[in-house]
Structure 1
Amino acid sequence: MFSAVAALIWVASATAGGETIPGNPLIDITAGPFVFGSDAGKENERPQRIVEGKAFAMNEIEITNAQYQRFVDATGHRAPFYSGHPSLGLPDRPVVGVSFSDAEAFCAYHGLRLPSEQEYERAARGMGGALFPWGNLPVDAMRANGGGSPCCRADNSDGYDMTAPARSFPKGASKEHLLNLVGNVWEWTRDFYAPYSGGTSPDIAGKYRVLRGGAWNSDPSRLSTTYRLAYDPDFRFAATGGFRCVRSQD
């Protein structure tokens, strides 16, 4: 593992350069009230309410295999499970086969962190509570890399059997021009899973982290800005799970 001194030097130089992860700029997300949750979605997406969001910056695209490999080469951290896969392992595709701690370590190395659920949702749906990053028009093959119905099976009608390049689907970009916040790969958030309303049962308290956004094999019901998936943080064998990082702005 890399030393603390080396990490500090890297963070300082990267911050000064203005692009912490080469090829994946941080996009500013402004502070202010926004719609969070959905009364029309699953029970665990309720209630919908207005929350006051803080300013932050988020990676424009999902972390790619090439970006993750540079981290592996520099630190000796373990490679992603699908490293070298003929499709999932391509350099421009989002990295998959990483656990929560793998994703957390990558972000920390770059002086960043994983987003909270609220940060993910604010970036994905804007302030007005849109169903999707592009607005309220339904998911289609021009806007997101998703799967068929019923879940969860691949569907190449969007041009890809599995993951698409991280810079695909510009018509599905968010208001701030972030790409693939819905579809392509699920994205780790830093929050433990708990219902928005009511207590957390002892068997799930502090056990699962939350994935957001849906993936290349997700049916349309899972491809939204509010869908929440509780997931084992230690599991690193999913071909559908990736991440991106954020930086606080205050």
Structure 2
Amino acid sequence: MVIALAFPAAAADAGPIAGNPLIEIPAGAFVFGRDDGPENERPRRALEGRAFAINRTEITNRQYGRFVNATGHRPAFYANHPILGLDDRPVVGVSWGDADAFCHYYGLELPSEPQYERAARGTKGDAFPWGDAPPDETRANSGADVCCSGDARDGYAMTAPAESFAAGASKEGVLNLVGNVWEWTRDLYAPYEGGTAPGSAGPYRVLRGGSWNSDPDHLTTTYRLAYDPEFRFSANGGFRCVRSTP
């Protein structure tokens, strides 16, 4: 399957999810974490990563609906919403378990935090998928300057189509790794090795990437949001899947 993009892109294959190819992320060293942000993002260091492949876009309502129809799994909470439930928008209103079940049905899994950062930051630890320039209306679907309200400066009051914001793509051609919807990772929330213990404890999972109602402080490739994995009523939380190399 050939994917035509207006920017340099890594190798892709169709993958098991119709309409959402997997983009190959090569093995190698990359920067993880940062020392000039919130305490829970420290320390900055270099990791050696294995190759993996990640969905080019967030999972959409259309794709999640096919999974529901095939398995009988419960629908997304906002499946019938006039905006959030549109076929081409990222699915929202799913718990961590819902997202995990979807990925495993297709032989995939949710990304780890290091996988998310490598896909979003490249190898040199960029602040954003496109580099270090601040987000603008052409690169990301984000919210007001003060947390946490949506606005339509970027053309969308809430979620945008998953194929939107090509100018904000990563160097490998992955879309919306910052903005549009927060994305579940498979990791439990915990301090990084060598970092300080988080202020709250509990079996939280980590969301990454910010969303359509995120202010600039939350809209980076390193921000970590601890979240209740059972909660499925969020209108700004979705996911994508990865295929990991053994």
Could you tell me the TM-score, scaled by structure 2's length?
Answer: 0.92
Q: Deviations over 1:61-89 (max 9, x none)?
A: 00000000000000000000001100000
In structure 2, what is the Cα distance between the partners aligned to 1:199 and 1:154?
32
Deviation at 1:124, TM superposition (A): 0.2
- Which deviates more, 196-205 or 160-169? 196-205
Query: Distance in 2 between the 1:105 and 1:52 partners?
Result: 28
Q: Percent identity?
A: 67
Alignment gaps of 5+ in structure 1: 1-16
Shift of 1:40: 1.3
2:179 maps to amino acid: G
Q: Which among 112, 115, 122 is matched to residue 111 of structure 2?
A: 115
Secondary structure at the aligned position of 2:76 is classed as coil
Question: 1:102 and 2:106 equivalent?
Answer: no
Shift of 1:235: 0.2
Name the aligned partner's letter for residue 115 of structure 1.
Answer: P
In 2, the alpha carbon distance for the partners of 1:142 and 1:18 equals 27
Q: Which residue of the partner structure matches residue 189 of structure 2?
A: 193
Deviation at 1:198, TM superposition (A): 4.6
Distance in 2 between residues matched to 1:96 and 1:138, nearest whole Å? 26
**1:215 has 2:208 as partner:** no
Residue 24 of structure 1 corresponds to 20
Alignment of 1:50-129 (within 5 A): 50-129=46-125
Question: Whose helix proportion is higher, 1 or 2?
Answer: 1
- TM-score, scaled to structure 1: 0.91
Separation in 1, partners of 2:37, 2:17: 35
**Quick one: structure 1 residues 236 and 179, their matched pair in 2 at CA, closer, same or farther if it must change by over 3 Å?**
same
Give per-residue Cα distances to partners, 1:45-73, cap 9 Å, x unaligned: 11100011110000000000000000000
2:8 alignment counterpart? none
Q: Any stretches of 5+ residues in structure 2 without a counterpart?
A: 1-12
**Contact kept? 2:40, 2:197, Cα under 8 Å:** no
Give the distance between the partners of 2:23 and 2:199, measured in 1 at CA. Answer: 38
Q: How many residues align?
A: 233
Within-5 A mapping of 1:138-153: 138-153=134-149
Q: 2:33 maps to what in 1? A: 37
Specify the alignment match of 1:204 in structure 2.
Answer: 201
Structure 1 residues 102 and 52: CA distance shift in structure 2, 3 A:
same
- In 1, are the aligned partners of 2:144 and 2:214 still within 8 Å (CA)? yes
The alpha carbon displacement at 1:195 in A equals: 1.6
Report SS of the residue matched to 1:72: helix
